[in-house]
């Protein structure tokens, strides 16, 4: 089962997807490109692994999916944020900030001890 994989990474990917989709309807390829651009290749994910995440989020009702026309006229599946997803994103961002803050705090303490 997919859940048995690293929860942290997966949760992070979910949050990234929600964040990107927040800006407006976008297809899977678009999301992959945005992740690549924004993270400057720090996040090395196989682009295909995006799709299980997308479908899972859609199934949970956080994303809405619609078939629409892409820029070169081909049909593509566009994802957009639902109201439920918007709330979820807010929760995850605040969680992430708290976690990141806590981790940063711990790291700072460690370096202070090392100086002693």
Partner 1 sequence: MKRPKPDFESQLDYELKFHIDKLTEEKIAAGIPPDEARRQAVLKFGGVEQFKEELRDVRGSRFLETLLSNLRGAVRVACKRPSLSLTIIATLALGIGANTAVFSAIDAILLRPMPFPNGDQLMQITQYSSKGKGGAIPAAPARVEDWNRMNSTFQAITGYYTQDVAETSGILPEKITQAWVAPRFFEVWGVAPALGRSFLQEEERGGGGSLAVISDHLWRRRFGASPDAVGRILRNGAESFRIVGVMPASFLFPNRDVEFWTPVPLNAPVMRTRNANWYTIFGRLKPGVTLAQARSDIAVVQSQLGKQYPQTDADLHTRVESLKKVTVGDSGRSLWILFGAVTMLLLIACTNIAALLLARTTERQREIAIRSSLGASRGSILAQLLTEIFVLALAGAAAALAVAAGTSHLFQTMARNLPRVDEIAPNARLVLYTVACAAVTTLLCGLFPAIRATRHTLNESLAHGGRTQVAGRNPLQWALSGLQVALAVILLAGAGLLLRSFDSLAHVSPGFESAHVLTLRISASWAESVDFNRTRQRINRDIEALGSIPGVEGAATSGTLPGLPSGTTSELAIVDAPVEPGRKIMAASHNVSPGYFAAMRIPLLAGRDCPEQPMGAALVNRNFADAYMAGRLPMGNHLQFVPASPYLMPGEIRGVVSNAREEGIEQDPVPIVYWCNSAPTPMPVFLVRTRGEPMAMAEAVRRKIHQVEPARSVYEVMPLEQHLSDALAENRLRTELLTFFALTAVSLACIGLYGTLSYVVSIRRREVGLRLAMGAARRQIVLQFLREALRVSLFGCAAGLILAALFTRVLNGMLYGVSSLDALTFGGVAILMLLTAALSAWMPAMRAAQLEPMQVLREE
Of the candidate residues 6, 7, 37, 67, the single one contacting partner 1 (CB under 8 A): 67
Is residue 6 classed as helix, strand or coil in its secondary structure? coil
| Closest among 54, 72, 73 to 63, alpha carbons compared | 54
The nearer residue to partner 1, 72 or 111, going by C-beta atoms, is: 72
Non-local (6+) Cβ contacts of 64 within 8 A are 58, 79, 80, 81, 82
Q: Is 48 in the site for partner 1 (CB under 8 A)?
A: yes
Q: Is 39 in the site for partner 1 (CB under 8 A)?
A: no
Q: Is 29 in the site for partner 1 (CB under 8 A)?
A: yes
Q: For residue 73, what is the enclosing H or E element? A: none
Which residues of this chain interact with partner 1, rule CB under 8 A?
A: 1-2, 27-29, 32, 46-49, 51-52, 55-56, 59, 67, 69-70, 73-77
């Amino acid at each position: 089962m997919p859940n048995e994989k690293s929860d942290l990474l997966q949760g992070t990917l979910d949050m990234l997807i929600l964040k990107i989709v927040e800006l407006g309807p976008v297809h899977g390829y678009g999301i992959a490109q945005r992740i690549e651009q924004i993270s400057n290749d720090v996040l090395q994910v196989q682009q295909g692994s995006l799709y299980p995440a997308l479908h899972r989020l859609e199934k949970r009702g956080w994303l809405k999916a619609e078939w629409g026309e892409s820029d070169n006229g081909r049909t593509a599946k566009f994802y957009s944020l639902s109201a439920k997803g918007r709330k979820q994103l807010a929760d995850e961002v605040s969680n992430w900030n708290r976690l990141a803050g806590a981790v940063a705090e711990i790291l700072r303490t460690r370096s202070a001890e090392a100086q002693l």
